[in-house]
Amino acid sequence: MTAMEQVVNEIDAVAVIARNVNFYYGESQALFDISININPKQITAFIGPSGCGKSTLLRCFNRMNEVILGTRITGDILIRGTDVYKEGTRLETLRKRVGMVFQKSNPFPMTIYDNIAFGPRMRGLKDKAALDEIVERSLKQSDLWQEVKDRLNRSAMELSGGQQQRLCIARTLANEPEIILMDEPASALDPISTSKIEETIQELRNYYTIVIVTHNLQQAARCSDYTAFFYLGRLVEMDTTAKIFQNPSQKRTEDYISGKFG
Amino acid sequence: MPHYNKYFDQELQDLKELVLKLGGMVEEQVSNAIISLTDRNVELARETIKLDHLINKLEVEIDEKCIDILALRQPMGPDLRFVTTAIKIIDNLERMGDMAVNICERVIDIAAEPRLKAYLDIPRMADIAKHMLKGCLDAFVTRNTDLAQKVRLEDDMVDALMSQIFRELLSFMVEDPHTISRATRIMFIAKYIERIADHATNIAEMVIYMVEGRIVRHTDPEAGN
């Protein structure tokens, strides 16, 4: 294998590569020299206290931070070899490949059907049968189909909080992304809706790379394969979730997961 | 290092003290069982048997406390290892208490018959087993894996004494079948002591897991595991 082929293989084996990423909100630096590999078709949880940079890093992956004035990034983020921050990278293409689900569900004020079909239509798909197929498949994948199949033309705003969140997951899935970023996707939901979301996340694992930011340690423990712990803008350690929650190698991680200070 | 929640700290501290209390009770039961053997003291043997229910009761109490902590606190990392280790430790301690009872029962069995021989190796073996029990409890409290490792190594001496006792008693039985009834019971007693040492070894191995997160069960301590 040539050195070049090796590099290509490496890029193929990793869904997201961040290399020496520094990120600034104006003068204040939020991320310090972060290098991390996100494994494909696995669930990676980002954990850490408030302000540790976990959401900031997540939003770097699909350039969501750019909407905030005065932000600046150095270092590289590669998604399957594509340099996310290279000039000429189209945001529409990037965000189709890297979907995002937010803490607060944000359905568009339109019908359930139109919410899901929104992305594909934006990309020019007009064929009704194809759209029908996408809507059904996406809603099935997000485990919402049974609950809404008879009222696809009703407003999405009528759905419960948990259903709205699964609708947002379905809307993301309709774009067939490679990577789904989830920022506290269940923090505003009751335990049953949370369990459903977690189950959905685990089912999606076979098809998508998922990165989830959560303050709920049990949630990270329950539904992720890998966990990365961040502290004061730095990556402290990343390992299998079982290792992180049973026997992490860093003292800082140990103190955080067991709720200690000092 | 304290937890953000001081009540959780207190619960863990209480749990540790209860495990130690149980350990102390078991140490005393084992000691008394051996004294009742060497002194042929049936009264002490009966007393010791009577006290076993206190060990059983405390074991259940600690078990429930551990399950409460798992359910209500959902401990992680070192706390998780501590609580799961405590559950296993008390199980082993309770079994040691049962072994002390078994020794006392055999002491009562053979009390009516003349002494078969002067006990030398059995008290020696019991001393090592008791030393191991004390060692594994100290290792648990002080989180001392070196001490735990020493306890594991001591088990070999107990095993060696066990086979020595076995050979000796066998020769008694071969020479004079009248000794079979007594010799068999003494053999049982030696086996019970050997089991106590095994349980102490188990606890020592759990302490290593608790401190380092490394499972050393079923590995050779002399190979540096």
Domain count across chain A: 1
Please give the residue of chain A at the shortest CA–CA distance from B214: A247
Would you list which residues of chain B are within 8 Å, Cβ to Cβ, of chain A?
1-5, 8, 74-81, 212-213
d(CA A247, CA B14): 23
Say what the pLDDT of residue A7 is.
Answer: 60
Q: Which amino acid is at A55?
A: S
**pLDDT digit string, tens, across residues B49-96:** 999 999 999 999 999 999 999 999 999 999 999 999 999 999 999 999
Say what the pLDDT of residue A12 is.
Answer: 65
Say what the pLDDT of residue B138 is.
Answer: 96
pLDDT exceeds cutoff 70 at B166? yes
- Within a domain: residue A262? no
Mean per-residue pLDDT, B184-201: 97
* C-alpha pair distances (Å), A87 with each of A44, A67, A84, A92: 28, 17, 9, 14
Contacting residues of B for A219, CB less than 8 Å apart: none
Find, among A70, A43, A71, the residue nearest to A56 by Cα: A71
* C-alpha pair distances (Å), A190 with each of A20, A161, A187, A199: 38, 9, 8, 14
Contacting residues of A for B2, CB less than 8 Å apart: 260-262
**pLDDT digit string, tens, across residues B118-158:** 788 999 999 999 999 999 999 999 999 999 999 999 999 99
Please give the residue of chain A at the shortest CA–CA distance from B74: A218
Contacting residues of A for B78, CB less than 8 Å apart: 254, 258
Contacting residues of A for B77, CB less than 8 Å apart: 245-248, 253-254, 257-258
- Within a domain: residue A45? yes
Domains and their CATH numbers in chain B: 6-223 (1.20.58.220)
- Which one-letter DSSP state was computed for residue A155? B
pLDDT exceeds cutoff 80 at B25? yes
CA distance B213 to chain A (A): 6
Helices and strands, number each (H, E), in chain A: 11, 10
Please give the residue of chain A at the shortest CA–CA distance from B81: A246
**Percentage above 90 pLDDT, chain B:** 88
CA angle B103, B106, B107 (to 5 degrees): 85
CB pairs under 8 A between A and B: 44
Q: Do B213 and A257 touch (CB under 8 A)?
A: no
Q: Could you give the strand order of the β-sheet that contains A209-213, starting from the edge strand earlier in sequence? A: A98-101, A179-183, A209-213, A43-47, A226-231, A234-240
Mean per-residue pLDDT, B160-166: 95
- Within a domain: residue A158? yes
d(CA B12, CA A35): 37
Q: Do B79 and A221 touch (CB under 8 A)?
A: no
User: Residue A121's domain spans which residues?
Assistant: 3-257
| Contacts (Cβ under 8 Å, ≥6 apart) of A11 | A17, A78, A80, A81
- Within a domain: residue A96? yes
Say what the pLDDT of residue A179 is.
Answer: 96
Low-confidence stretches of chain A (pLDDT < 50) are: none
The confidence band for B1, taking pLDDT boundaries of 50, 70 and 90, is: confident
Q: What is the CATH number of the domain that holds A218?
A: 3.40.50.300
- Within a domain: residue A20? yes
Average pLDDT, chain B: 95
